[in-house]
Amino acid sequence: MASKDAAPPGTRRRDRTHFLYIAVIVAVLAGIAVGFAAPDLGKALKPLGTGFVELIKMMISPIIFCTIVLGVGGVRQAAKVGKVGGLALGYFLAMSVVALIIGLVVGNFLHPGEGLHITEELRGAGAEQAGEEAKSTTEFVLGIIPNTLVSALTEGEVLQTLLVALLAGFALQSMGSRGAPILRGIEHVQRLVFKILAIVMWAAPIGAFGAIAAVVGATGLDALKSLAVIMFGFYLTCVLFIFLVLGPMLWMFARISIFSLLRYLGREFLLIVSTSSSEAALPRLIARMEHLGVSKPVVGISVPTGYSFNLDGTMIYLTMSSLFIATALGDPLSLGEQVGLLLFMMVASKGAAGVSGAGLATLAGGLQSHRPELLDGVGLIVGIDRFMSEARALTNFAGNAVATVLIGSWTREIDREQVQRVFSGQDPFNEQTFVDDHDDSAEPEPEPVKA
């Protein structure tokens, strides 16, 4: 066990990571300045942001695979995994419905889109976004099955990786002690992957600079003025959802302050703002939740599954964007049409992990399937989708963090003392290895297995 006396040296060792996030803030400000001063140059810098997000996405599948296999494979009873998974899916479904309702209430109150006039140039953008994104339920379900056992890890499909990881976890669970060496090897692979990710993170300032410069250069200030109502309404709805829905639930069932949790995840939120992708922070959320005291099985099941099924921000986005487009085109949706369209989108959005642009594609695909005459209006959203994507990703991320803590509390799989140590600053998160100090000190523990 790590002694408290060892904490100060560890803290000093991690101090240099603060410069990384200071650099990200400086890069974001510099990107905004470049985007306004030289729009063409800003747009030309877009590959920097795209490249960084691709580097992060490169790590997603192996991290999800290792986390779920270790979480499921390390549990003695398969029923426990089923209990956690069932509870998680039930909660995710309930929160999606709540997010839809809040979006409908605020959207119908603000009436976004009134007074706007769509142009021919914007009409083409809507059809372009829809493309081949509209999939039937059968295609969606069959798409979860990978071509081969290893293709899920190489193609970056989150739901396919979930399926393979669950199968591998249950297989190792059934092997008993014979599967222990394999689990031990996967644990070392997980440490390696987290270490690689820690190295990749040092490219965050470059990625943030390119991404922000590109979006500011492409949209400018004038493009945002006419769409201020929808952006304000969307941001307000996300804030209300986090602090009036998630916050009270977190305190009621876990006795944890939403402000303490959000402050603990501050660096992850900064990363999401700079990349507009909650996927960029997925590996860090897994490590953060384990360090907070939530058990590995709960984290291993709740976090990756939540990234596909607990998309609260996306639900709000789809709700308000649909109302906005219908009003802007002079064809408002009736209440029945709103409910039908949004329930379809709720299903269609599952599996659209927090990648920038996934919500826009889901919106276009849903409108194409239900109300094709509204598809042209998607072009109105394209210009500000990047800015809405940030709030969407932040809300998705906050929702998944709260869900993991709640599920850990409901299943009694959370260490309350560890939570207090973390929030009080006694046990700081290890930024170098993405594992906590206790894991580092316990590294020699696998030796007895050699016998």
pLDDT in tens, 208-226: 788 778 767 766 655 445 5
User: Rounded CA gap, 112 and 323, in Å?
Assistant: 7
Which secondary structure element, helix H or strand E, spans residue 81, and what is its range?
helix 78-110
Note the pLDDT of residue 359: 63
User: Rounded CA gap, 285 and 214, in Å?
Assistant: 27
pLDDT above 80: residue 15: no
Written as one letter, the residue type at 66 is C
The DSSP secondary-structure symbol of 112 reads T
User: Rounded CA gap, 341 and 327, in Å?
Assistant: 15
Cα end-to-end span (Å), the chain: 23
Q: Which residue has the tokens 């949004």?
A: 342
Report H helices in 349-415.
Answer: 358-370, 378-382, 385-410
Please state, as a whole number, how many other Cβ atoms lie within 10 Å of the Cβ of residue 150: 10
Please state, as a whole number, how many other Cβ atoms lie within 10 Å of the Cβ of residue 79: 9
* Closest-CA residue to 271 (of 439, 447, 397, 180): 397
Q: Are 315 and 346 within 8 A, CB to CB?
A: yes
How far are the Cα atoms of 125, 128, 254, 307, 432 from residue 364, in angstroms, in the given order? 10, 9, 38, 21, 41
Q: Are 310 and 90 within 8 A, CB to CB?
A: no
Beta bridge partners of 294: 414
Set out the domains of the chain in order of their start, with CATH numbers. Answer: 58-192+221-423 (1.10.3860.10)
Three-state SS for 132? coil
Q: Are 92 and 300 within 8 A, CB to CB?
A: no
pLDDT above 60: residue 116: no
Stronger pLDDT, 197 or 436, i.e. the higher one:
197
Beta bridge partners of 414: 294
Note the pLDDT of residue 437: 41
User: Rounded CA gap, 130 and 295, in Å?
Assistant: 40
**pLDDT one-digit tens code per residue, 219-263:** 665 544 555 677 788 888 899 999 999 999 999 999 999 999 999
**pLDDT one-digit tens code per residue, 296-314:** 888 888 888 887 778 888 8
Give the side-chain half-sphere CA count within 13 A for 59. Answer: 24
Note the pLDDT of residue 2: 40
